[in-house]
Amino acid sequence: MKTQVAIIGGGPSGLLLAQLLLRHGIDSVVLERKTKKYVLGRIRAGVLEQGLVRLMEEAGCAERLHAEGHVHDGTLIAYGDEMFRIDFTALTGTPVIVYGQTELTRDLYAAREAAGGSIEFEVEDVAIHGADTDAPHVTYRKDGSDHRLDCDFVAGCDGFHGISRQTIPLDVRREYEKVYPFGWLGILSETPPVNEELIYANSPRGFALCSMRNENLSRYYIQCSLSDKPEDWTDDAFWQELERRIPADQAARLVTGPSIEKSIAPLRSFVTEPMRWGRLFLCGDAAHIVPPTGAKGLNTAASDVHYLNSGLRAFYETGATDGIDSYSARALARVWKAERFSWWFSSLMHRYPDQSDFDLKIQVADLDFLRTNEAAHKAMAENYVGLPY
Ligand code: APR
Ligand code: PHB
């Protein structure tokens, strides 16, 4: 089989890239190791920057997003007896849209299928060959048979646990990592959100986040120990802990109910450099991971896809290679700003096991400064709504 771009991974990065390429007449094949049902069963963050919204519009996949997504002009930050608001739209002219990543992925699948685009599900043993040559190819097994996909380029969109990053030789790759000493216990409940906007809370008992998917589907998180397991937490225990970590007036209006999903995610900052090796390009979680505090995972995958799509379009339309040659540097410049913001916001909002009394005083001073300083509000808003591509 032959294609122009072999895309490994049928998550948001791979699907968005495939759809954008297709819209510009560039052929691709998506290789996904799981089933479509499995991919759509993943519960992930749901805050979209305008840059991602524009890409979904360019991909022709933004209709439901605009119909069902919720425009958020700001967010709430709580600590001690304080709760204050960052007004994104007043400070930057830009809101964010709350729309589940699962729904965005569903929209991309629907567009791919409607366009007759090729997606190979349940592939196994994917391997990239000749990435450092002008004629790479990918091999994989499916339904017990071996397959070969010849291509011009390979897009590694296979996430943190994929094989694409591992294809880049160790003497070429440089990796940067910070592992956080806690996790996030998250639940999904068919209850009305506690507030119209998200609430990020720093409490003496740890971080909490009140989010949502729609007017009757709420998403809540509490910071938890890395030794915790979801089954260690009954729904009642979760709700009681959440109520102790958010402001009393918000806790008083919290509507609780049975969890329909409960999971624990570890937190990590991670970047691999470079994001290109020969004709292999890494996108999204394959190249970088952020703690979810700043909701930057999907949105940074989006800017990777934007840069790569632009570079590949230029190559196929004019033969120019400056777009693909500058891809890694351009993507990493924005990735590191998202890494910084995600690390900073995580440091501001969580309680760390090794925090000294001095550290705690500094954290409160940081929160006081953010609450009372207009420049700090603007910096927070600029980063949260998304820095320019
Ligand atoms: N072969 C084929 N497919 C693979 C392989 C492999 N060897 N390894 C992983 N995959 C698939 C996974 O099953 C998954 O569907 O690649 C896809 C990668 O998707 P994501 O992990 O969602 O990564 P990405 O598409 O970059 O999206 C980033 O997802 O994880 C969140 O927080 C992250 O919001 C961010 C977004
Ligand atoms: C979510 O709704 O899942 C969500 C929102 C904002 C975040 C992280 C997760 O920062």
pLDDT per position as a tens digit, 220-252: 999 999 999 999 999 999 999 999 999 999 999
Instruction: State how far the Cα of 369 lies from the Cα of 348, in Å rounded to an integer.
Output: 11
DSSP letters of 84-135?
EEEEHHHHHS--EEE--HHHHHHHHHHHHHHTT-EEE-S-EEEEEE-TTSSS
34-46 as b/e: b if 16+ CB within 10 A: bebeebeeebbbb
Tell me, what amino acid is at 130?
Answer: G
Active site residue 140: no
For residue range 67-80, list pLDDT tens digits in order.
999 999 999 999 98
- The average pLDDT across 106-116 equals 95
**Percent of the chain beyond pLDDT 90?**
98
Instruction: State how far the Cα of 284 lies from the Cα of 299, in Å rounded to an integer.
Output: 9
Q: What is the pLDDT of residue 45?
A: 82
Q: Which domains does the chain have, with CATH numbers?
A: 5-71+96-177+268-346 (3.50.50.60), 180-267+353-385 (3.30.9.10)
Active site residue 384: yes
Contact (CB, 8 A) for 384 and 86? yes
Nearest Cα residue to atom 3 of ligand 2: 45
Check pLDDT > 90 for residue 81: no
Check pLDDT > 90 for residue 42: no
Please list every protein residue whose CB sits less than 6 Å from any atom of ligand 1: 8-14, 31-34, 39, 44-45, 101, 123, 126, 157-159, 161-163, 284-285, 297-298, 301
Q: What integer best gives the mean pLDDT of the chain?
A: 97
- The average pLDDT across 76-85 equals 95
Ligand in nearest proximity to the CA of 72: 2
Most distant CA atoms of the chain, gap in Å = 63
Ligand in nearest proximity to the CA of 12: 1
**Of the residues 296, 306, 350, 377, which is catalytic?**
296
Contact (CB, 8 A) for 169 and 318? no
Check pLDDT > 90 for residue 152: yes
Q: Tell me the pLDDT band of 43, cut-offs 50, 70 and 90.
A: confident
Contact (CB, 8 A) for 98 and 120? no
Q: Which helix (H) or strand (E) holds 7?
A: strand 5-8
CA 160 remoteness from chain centre: 12
Q: What is the pLDDT of residue 278?
A: 98
Q: What is the pLDDT of residue 153?
A: 98
Nearest Cα residue to atom 7 of ligand 2: 295
Active site residue 72: yes
Q: What is the pLDDT of residue 44?
A: 84
Using DSSP's 3-state secondary structure scheme, residue 197 falls into coil
Active site residue 200: yes
Supply the pTM of this predicted model: 0.97
